[in-house]
């Protein structure tokens, strides 16, 4: 089945130790998104890629970076995780950004714990 895959499902890191979360897709979608969802809160968009074009949300901290080496993969790098970065990280894809193409397909998420 075509889908959005996130690895690992659970990630534990230490305060200040860089960590990378991975997302891959077999849908061949142009757009890939990263969201942060803290407990009992709404998913918050961090950034998205349209193909190779990177779009950062205005309030995304510099501590969060992303890479998209090809259509299928997208990575979220947290350079110096703080305790406040513990959250569920959701990856999503869509065919495009225009109406009728921007239905988002979500991965299962990676739960990040910062010790």
Partner 1 sequence: AQRVTQPEKLLSVFKGAPVELKCNYSYSGSPELFWYVQYSRQRLQLLLRHISRESIKGFTADLNKGETSFHLKKPFAQEEDSAMYYCALSVRGQNFVFGPGTRLSVLP
Distances (CA, A) of 19 to 44, 57, 113: 19, 20, 11
Tokens of 70: 């090809």
Tokens of 57: 């949300």
Q: Collect all residues with Cβ–Cβ distance below 8 Å to 42 and sequence separation of at least 6.
A: none
Instruction: Check residue 97 for interaction with partner 1 (CB under 8 A).
Output: yes
The interface with partner 1 within residues 51-70 (CB under 8 A) comprises 55, 57
Instruction: Check residue 33 for interaction with partner 1 (CB under 8 A).
Output: yes
Which residue's CB is nearer to partner 1, number 15 or number 101? 101
CA 4 to chain centre: 11
| CA–CA separation, 65 and 79 (whole Å) | 8
The residue within the footprint of partner 1, chosen from 63, 71, 75, 105 (CB under 8 A), is 105
Instruction: Check residue 30 for interaction with partner 1 (CB under 8 A).
Output: no
| CA–CA separation, 58 and 69 (whole Å) | 23
The residue within the footprint of partner 1, chosen from 43, 85, 89, 112 (CB under 8 A), is 43
Span near partner 1 by CB under 8 A; candidates 16-24, 44-52, 63-71, 78-86: 44-52
Q: How far is the CB of 27 from partner 1 (least distance, A)?
A: 13
Binding site residues, partner 1, CB under 8 A: 4, 33, 35, 40-45, 48, 55, 57, 90, 92, 96-109
């Amino acid at each position: 089945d075509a889908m959005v895959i996130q690895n690992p499902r659970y990630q534990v890191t230490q305060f200040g130790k860089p960590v990378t979360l991975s997302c891959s897709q077999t849908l061949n979608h142009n757009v890939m998104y990263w969201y942060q969802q803290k407990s009992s809160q709404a998913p918050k968009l961090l950034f998205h890629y349209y193909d190779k074009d990177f779009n950062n949300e205005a309030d995304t901290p510099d501590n969060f970076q992303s890479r998209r080496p090809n259509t299928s993969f997208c990575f979220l790098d947290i350079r110096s995780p703080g305790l406040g970065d513990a959250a569920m990280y959701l990856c999503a894809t869509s065919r495009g950004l225009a109406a009728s193409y921007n239905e988002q397909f979500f991965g299962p998420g990676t739960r990040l714990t910062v010790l």
